[in-house]
């Protein structure tokens, strides 16, 4: 009975004081642990960005793989849909002004992604495409009948010359003529087109586009539903390149 009578007194007095001390110590310990762990957890949660801009070390004329992009406009036939494709380069260098051996662009065909918002905006298409449709477009594009990226993971533009035209674009940006050979799916064809080039933020920003026919490279344009839905033979390929500027001179 004495023990039972003393229980309420212990509960209301010393026990509550003890629990308050334990709770306070627990809070302090939790806050200290959280403060120590937070930076580590944040570092763990943030994925390592391989080849990020901060880590990218470029030599003059070398293409930035993190900043540069390739965009492709795919037109439709019949009841098909227009598409914008986004891709990256695997390697590249461009020597503006060179009369020979002006560089090389190697396209990473595995990176090509159908109907990203950035690609659609770049090639002038409205709206967005849902993820399921994007995956279907990408799968169709990469399969053995079209790009066959399993067998041909890269395409290449070997640049023979990149010479000034002494003209400027409608935006007042100097124009260069690039000539060379474009290789896709193991087939090579000569290529020539003009591109804008301006010095910006320590880079030479080069923008240009050229057209190819899929059939020229052994590709049968995608068709379905007895040919009532499909894409056009012609593709328009846009290059948006950021090249480490040469220290000697800016683009003129």
Asked whether residue 55 is domain-assigned, the answer is no
Q: Which two tokens stand for residue 216?
A: 């020229």
Asked whether residue 152 is domain-assigned, the answer is yes
- Does residue 214 surpass a pLDDT of 90? yes
What is the bridge-based pairing of β-strands 229-244 and 203-213? antiparallel
Q: What's the pLDDT score for residue 38?
A: 40
Tens of pLDDT, residues 229-250: 999 999 999 999 999 998 655 5
Is 36 in the same domain as 144? no
- Provide the residue range defining the domain that includes 37: 1-48
CATH number at residue 109: 2.40.128.110
Under 8 Å between Cβ of 195 and 178: yes
Start-to-end CA distance of the chain, whole Å, equals 101
Is 74 in the same domain as 38? no
Under 8 Å between Cβ of 86 and 69: yes
User: Rounded to an integer, what distance in angstroms lies between the CA atom of residue 159 and that of residue 101?
Assistant: 6
User: Rounded to an integer, what distance in angstroms lies between the CA atom of residue 142 and that of residue 137?
Assistant: 9
Express as a percent the part of the chain with pLDDT over 90.
Answer: 73
* Average pLDDT of the segment spanning 133-153: 97
Asked whether residue 13 is domain-assigned, the answer is yes
Is 9 in the same domain as 99? no
| SS3 state of residue 36 | helix
The stretches of the chain forming alpha helices (DSSP H) are 2-10, 16-45, 117-122, 131-142
Q: Name the band, by pLDDT with cuts 50, 70 and 90, for residue 227.
A: confident
Asked whether residue 221 is domain-assigned, the answer is yes
pTM: 0.77
Q: Name the band, by pLDDT with cuts 50, 70 and 90, for residue 252.
A: low
């Amino acid at each position: 009975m004495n023990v039972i009578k003393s229980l309420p007194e212990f509960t209301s007095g010393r026990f509550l004081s003890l629990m308050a001390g334990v709770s306070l110590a627990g809070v302090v310990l939790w806050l200290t642990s959280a403060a120590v762990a937070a930076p580590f957890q944040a570092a763990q949660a943030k994925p390592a960005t391989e080849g990020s801009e901060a880590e990218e070390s470029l030599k003059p004329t070398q293409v930035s793989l993190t900043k540069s992009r390739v965009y492709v406009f795919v037109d439709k036939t019949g009841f098909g849909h227009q598409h914008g494709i986004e891709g990256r380069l695997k390697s590249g260098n461009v020597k503006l002004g060179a009369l020979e051996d002006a560089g090389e662009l190697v396209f990473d065909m595995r990176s090509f992604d159908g109907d990203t918002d950035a690609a659609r905006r770049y090639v002038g298409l409205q709206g967005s495409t849902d993820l399921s449709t994007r995956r279907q477009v990408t799968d169709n594009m990469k399969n053995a009948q079209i790009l066959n990226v399993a067998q041909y993971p890269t395409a290449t533009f070997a640049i023979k010359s990149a010479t000034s035209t002494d003209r400027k674009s409608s935006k007042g940006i100097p124009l260069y003529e690039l000539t060379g050979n474009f290789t896709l799916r193991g087939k090579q064809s000569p290529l020539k087109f003009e591109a804008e080039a301006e010095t910006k933020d320590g880079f030479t920003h080069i923008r240009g586009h050229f057209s190819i026919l899929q059939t020229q490279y052994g590709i049968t344009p995608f068709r379905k539903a007895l040919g009532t839905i499909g894409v056009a033979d012609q593709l328009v390929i846009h290059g948006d390149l950021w090249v480490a500027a040469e220290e000697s001179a800016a683009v003129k």
